[in-house]
Amino acid sequence: MQKVLLAISLVFIGVNTYSAELAIPNVLKTGDATNGASLVATCAACHGNDGNSINTDWPSLAGQNQKYLYDQLGYFVSGERENALMTAVIPYLKTLSSDEMLDIAAYYAESPASVGQADSDADLLALGGSLYRAGDLNRGIPACTACHSLYGEGNVQAGFPKISGQQKGYLISTLKEYRSQIRNAGNYALVMQAASANLKDDDIEALANYMHGLYRK
Protein backbone atom coordinates (compact mmCIF):
# COMPACT_ATOMS: atom_id res chain seq x y z
CA MET A 1 0.00 0.00 0.00
CA GLN A 2 2.84 2.34 0.86
CA LYS A 3 4.26 1.92 -2.65
CA VAL A 4 0.98 2.95 -4.24
CA LEU A 5 0.68 6.08 -2.15
CA LEU A 6 4.25 6.89 -3.03
CA ALA A 7 3.50 6.43 -6.72
CA ILE A 8 0.40 8.61 -6.58
CA SER A 9 2.10 11.41 -4.69
CA LEU A 10 4.97 11.34 -7.17
CA VAL A 11 2.60 12.37 -9.92
CA PHE A 12 1.90 15.62 -8.17
CA ILE A 13 5.43 16.25 -6.97
CA GLY A 14 6.96 15.71 -10.39
CA VAL A 15 8.63 12.38 -10.84
CA ASN A 16 11.88 13.57 -12.35
CA THR A 17 13.12 15.20 -9.17
CA TYR A 18 12.46 12.09 -7.16
CA SER A 19 13.31 9.30 -9.56
CA ALA A 20 16.68 8.72 -7.90
CA GLU A 21 15.03 7.91 -4.56
CA LEU A 22 12.52 5.63 -6.27
CA ALA A 23 15.14 3.10 -7.41
CA ILE A 24 13.34 -0.17 -6.77
CA PRO A 25 15.68 -3.16 -6.43
CA ASN A 26 15.26 -5.79 -9.11
CA VAL A 27 14.57 -8.73 -6.84
CA LEU A 28 12.53 -10.67 -9.36
CA LYS A 29 14.38 -13.61 -10.82
CA THR A 30 14.31 -14.05 -14.57
CA GLY A 31 12.24 -16.84 -16.08
CA ASP A 32 13.43 -19.25 -18.75
CA ALA A 33 12.15 -17.82 -22.05
CA THR A 34 12.98 -20.98 -24.02
CA ASN A 35 10.84 -23.07 -21.72
CA GLY A 36 8.17 -20.35 -21.82
CA ALA A 37 8.01 -20.67 -25.63
CA SER A 38 6.97 -24.31 -25.22
CA LEU A 39 4.05 -23.38 -22.94
CA VAL A 40 2.18 -20.77 -25.02
CA ALA A 41 0.67 -22.74 -27.93
CA THR A 42 -2.87 -22.10 -26.66
CA CYS A 43 -2.24 -18.36 -26.34
CA ALA A 44 -1.30 -17.73 -29.98
CA ALA A 45 -4.91 -17.70 -31.27
CA CYS A 46 -5.49 -14.37 -29.56
CA HIS A 47 -2.09 -12.96 -28.64
CA GLY A 48 -0.30 -13.97 -31.85
CA ASN A 49 2.53 -16.48 -32.31
CA ASP A 50 5.13 -14.00 -31.08
CA GLY A 51 2.91 -12.07 -28.67
CA ASN A 52 1.90 -9.40 -31.21
CA SER A 53 -1.90 -9.52 -31.32
CA ILE A 54 -3.57 -8.89 -34.68
CA ASN A 55 -6.94 -7.86 -33.24
CA THR A 56 -7.42 -4.31 -31.98
CA ASP A 57 -9.39 -5.54 -28.96
CA TRP A 58 -6.85 -8.11 -27.77
CA PRO A 59 -3.66 -6.98 -26.05
CA SER A 60 -0.18 -7.60 -27.39
CA LEU A 61 2.16 -9.17 -24.86
CA ALA A 62 5.42 -8.91 -26.84
CA GLY A 63 8.02 -6.66 -25.22
CA GLN A 64 5.88 -6.21 -22.11
CA ASN A 65 7.90 -6.37 -18.90
CA GLN A 66 8.17 -9.69 -17.10
CA LYS A 67 6.98 -8.49 -13.71
CA TYR A 68 3.79 -6.96 -15.08
CA LEU A 69 2.97 -10.06 -17.17
CA TYR A 70 3.66 -12.40 -14.27
CA ASP A 71 1.49 -10.36 -11.90
CA GLN A 72 -1.42 -10.23 -14.38
CA LEU A 73 -1.29 -14.00 -14.99
CA GLY A 74 -1.53 -14.47 -11.23
CA TYR A 75 -4.59 -12.17 -11.10
CA PHE A 76 -6.37 -14.12 -13.85
CA VAL A 77 -5.63 -17.42 -12.09
CA SER A 78 -6.87 -16.13 -8.72
CA GLY A 79 -9.99 -14.61 -10.33
CA GLU A 80 -9.13 -11.07 -9.24
CA ARG A 81 -8.96 -10.02 -12.89
CA GLU A 82 -11.80 -11.34 -15.03
CA ASN A 83 -12.25 -11.49 -18.78
CA ALA A 84 -14.55 -13.76 -20.78
CA LEU A 85 -11.94 -14.67 -23.40
CA MET A 86 -9.16 -15.32 -20.89
CA THR A 87 -11.50 -17.64 -18.98
CA ALA A 88 -10.85 -20.28 -21.64
CA VAL A 89 -7.20 -20.71 -20.64
CA ILE A 90 -7.50 -20.46 -16.87
CA PRO A 91 -7.90 -24.23 -16.35
CA TYR A 92 -4.68 -24.66 -18.34
CA LEU A 93 -2.85 -21.91 -16.42
CA LYS A 94 -3.88 -23.59 -13.17
CA THR A 95 -1.93 -26.70 -14.18
CA LEU A 96 1.30 -24.66 -14.36
CA SER A 97 3.76 -23.98 -11.55
CA SER A 98 4.66 -20.40 -10.65
CA ASP A 99 8.08 -20.97 -12.23
CA GLU A 100 6.38 -21.96 -15.48
CA MET A 101 4.24 -18.81 -15.38
CA LEU A 102 7.43 -16.81 -14.91
CA ASP A 103 8.86 -18.61 -17.95
CA ILE A 104 5.83 -17.56 -20.02
CA ALA A 105 6.27 -13.97 -18.82
CA ALA A 106 9.98 -14.11 -19.72
CA TYR A 107 9.18 -15.47 -23.18
CA TYR A 108 6.82 -12.61 -24.05
CA ALA A 109 9.07 -10.01 -22.41
CA GLU A 110 11.91 -11.04 -24.75
CA SER A 111 9.74 -11.19 -27.86
CA PRO A 112 10.18 -8.09 -30.09
CA ALA A 113 7.13 -5.80 -30.11
CA SER A 114 5.57 -4.44 -33.32
CA VAL A 115 5.20 -0.69 -33.77
CA GLY A 116 1.65 0.66 -34.16
CA GLN A 117 0.35 3.31 -36.56
CA ALA A 118 -1.63 6.18 -35.04
CA ASP A 119 -4.55 7.79 -36.85
CA SER A 120 -3.06 11.02 -38.23
CA ASP A 121 -6.03 13.27 -37.32
CA ALA A 122 -4.26 16.41 -36.09
CA ASP A 123 -6.70 17.36 -33.32
CA LEU A 124 -6.80 13.80 -31.98
CA LEU A 125 -3.00 13.59 -31.93
CA ALA A 126 -2.65 16.99 -30.27
CA LEU A 127 -5.06 16.08 -27.47
CA GLY A 128 -3.55 12.62 -26.96
CA GLY A 129 0.03 13.91 -26.99
CA SER A 130 -0.66 16.75 -24.61
CA LEU A 131 -2.54 14.60 -22.08
CA TYR A 132 0.04 11.83 -22.29
CA ARG A 133 3.02 14.12 -21.77
CA ALA A 134 1.63 16.77 -19.45
CA GLY A 135 -1.71 15.58 -18.10
CA ASP A 136 -4.15 18.35 -17.22
CA LEU A 137 -3.69 19.77 -13.74
CA ASN A 138 -6.99 21.68 -13.83
CA ARG A 139 -8.91 18.54 -14.63
CA GLY A 140 -7.01 16.28 -12.21
CA ILE A 141 -5.33 14.19 -14.92
CA PRO A 142 -1.71 13.19 -14.21
CA ALA A 143 0.99 13.04 -16.87
CA CYS A 144 1.21 9.46 -18.12
CA THR A 145 4.94 9.91 -18.81
CA ALA A 146 5.56 9.94 -15.05
CA CYS A 147 5.13 6.18 -14.89
CA HIS A 148 4.91 4.91 -18.48
CA SER A 149 7.91 6.99 -19.66
CA LEU A 150 8.16 9.42 -22.56
CA TYR A 151 8.13 6.73 -25.25
CA GLY A 152 5.75 4.40 -23.44
CA GLU A 153 8.20 1.68 -22.40
CA GLY A 154 6.89 1.71 -18.83
CA ASN A 155 9.24 0.91 -15.97
CA VAL A 156 10.74 -2.58 -16.02
CA GLN A 157 11.92 -2.67 -12.42
CA ALA A 158 8.74 -1.29 -10.91
CA GLY A 159 6.61 -3.43 -13.26
CA PHE A 160 4.73 -0.42 -14.69
CA PRO A 161 3.49 -1.71 -18.05
CA LYS A 162 4.73 -0.74 -21.48
CA ILE A 163 1.83 0.86 -23.36
CA SER A 164 3.55 1.92 -26.60
CA GLY A 165 2.26 0.10 -29.66
CA GLN A 166 -0.49 -1.55 -27.61
CA GLN A 167 -3.69 -2.35 -29.50
CA LYS A 168 -6.04 0.63 -29.59
CA GLY A 169 -9.33 -1.15 -28.87
CA TYR A 170 -7.78 -2.82 -25.84
CA LEU A 171 -6.31 0.46 -24.55
CA ILE A 172 -9.76 2.05 -24.75
CA SER A 173 -11.61 -0.80 -23.06
CA THR A 174 -9.08 -1.23 -20.28
CA LEU A 175 -8.89 2.52 -19.49
CA LYS A 176 -12.69 2.55 -19.24
CA GLU A 177 -12.53 -0.47 -16.95
CA TYR A 178 -10.08 1.33 -14.64
CA ARG A 179 -12.28 4.43 -14.69
CA SER A 180 -15.37 2.44 -13.70
CA GLN A 181 -13.21 0.43 -11.25
CA ILE A 182 -14.16 -2.89 -12.90
CA ARG A 183 -10.44 -3.47 -13.35
CA ASN A 184 -9.35 -3.67 -9.75
CA ALA A 185 -6.84 -6.50 -9.39
CA GLY A 186 -3.97 -5.61 -7.06
CA ASN A 187 -2.72 -2.35 -5.59
CA TYR A 188 -1.33 -1.10 -8.88
CA ALA A 189 -4.85 -1.01 -10.31
CA LEU A 190 -5.71 1.63 -7.68
CA VAL A 191 -3.04 3.88 -9.18
CA MET A 192 -4.72 3.62 -12.58
CA GLN A 193 -8.21 4.03 -11.16
CA ALA A 194 -7.02 7.38 -9.79
CA ALA A 195 -5.17 8.31 -13.00
CA SER A 196 -8.21 7.60 -15.20
CA ALA A 197 -10.96 8.91 -12.90
CA ASN A 198 -11.29 12.27 -14.66
CA LEU A 199 -10.79 11.13 -18.26
CA LYS A 200 -13.70 11.70 -20.65
CA ASP A 201 -14.41 9.23 -23.46
CA ASP A 202 -12.85 11.65 -25.97
CA ASP A 203 -9.68 11.87 -23.85
CA ILE A 204 -9.47 8.07 -23.76
CA GLU A 205 -9.87 7.81 -27.55
CA ALA A 206 -7.13 10.39 -28.05
CA LEU A 207 -4.76 8.81 -25.53
CA ALA A 208 -5.29 5.33 -27.00
CA ASN A 209 -4.54 6.61 -30.51
CA TYR A 210 -1.39 8.35 -29.28
CA MET A 211 -0.11 5.36 -27.25
CA HIS A 212 -0.81 2.93 -30.10
CA GLY A 213 1.46 4.95 -32.40
CA LEU A 214 4.15 5.75 -29.81
CA TYR A 215 7.65 4.30 -30.20
CA ARG A 216 11.26 5.21 -29.46
CA LYS A 217 12.99 6.49 -32.58
The smaller minimum CB distance to ligand HEC, of residues 25 and 91, is found at: 91
Task: Tell whether residue 127 is a contact of ligand HEC (CB under 6 A).
Answer: no
Instruction: Give the count of alpha carbons within 13 A of 20, CB side only.
Output: 1
Measured distance between the N- and C-terminal CA atoms of the chain, rounded to whole angstroms:
36
User: Among 36, 48, 63, 142, which residue sits at the site for ligand HEC (rule: CB under 6 A)?
Assistant: 142
104 binds ligand HEC (CB under 6 A): yes
List Cα–Cα distances, 184 to 17, 72, 187, 192, in angstroms: 29, 11, 8, 9
Task: Write the binding mask 187 to 206 for ligand HEC: x where contact by CB under 6 A, - elsewhere.
Answer: -xx-xx--x-----------
Handedness of CA 41, 92, 174, 157 (dihedral sign): negative
> Binder to ligand HEC among 65, 109, 113, 148 (CB under 6 A)?
148
**Interface map 9-28 toward ligand HEC (x if CB under 6 A):** --x-----------------
The answer to whether residue 54 forms part of the interface with ligand HEC (CB under 6 A) is no
CA-to-CA dists, residue 48 to 42, 55, 175, 190, angstroms: 10, 9, 22, 29
> To the nearest whole angstrom, how small is the minimum distance from the Cβ of residue 93 to ligand HEC?
6
- Kindly state whether residue 161 participates in binding ligand HEC, applying the rule CB under 6 A: yes
**8 Å CB contact between 63 and 170:** no
Q: Is 212 annotated as a binding residue?
A: no
Kindly determine how many residues on this chain lie close enough to bind ligand HEC according to the rule CB under 6 A. Answer: 44
Q: Which of 33, 46, 169, 215 binds ligand HEC (CB under 6 A)?
A: 46
Asked whether the beta carbons of 148 and 160 are under 8 A apart, the reply is yes
User: Is there a binding annotation on residue 211?
Assistant: no
47 binds ligand HEC (CB under 6 A): yes
DSSP state at residue 31: P
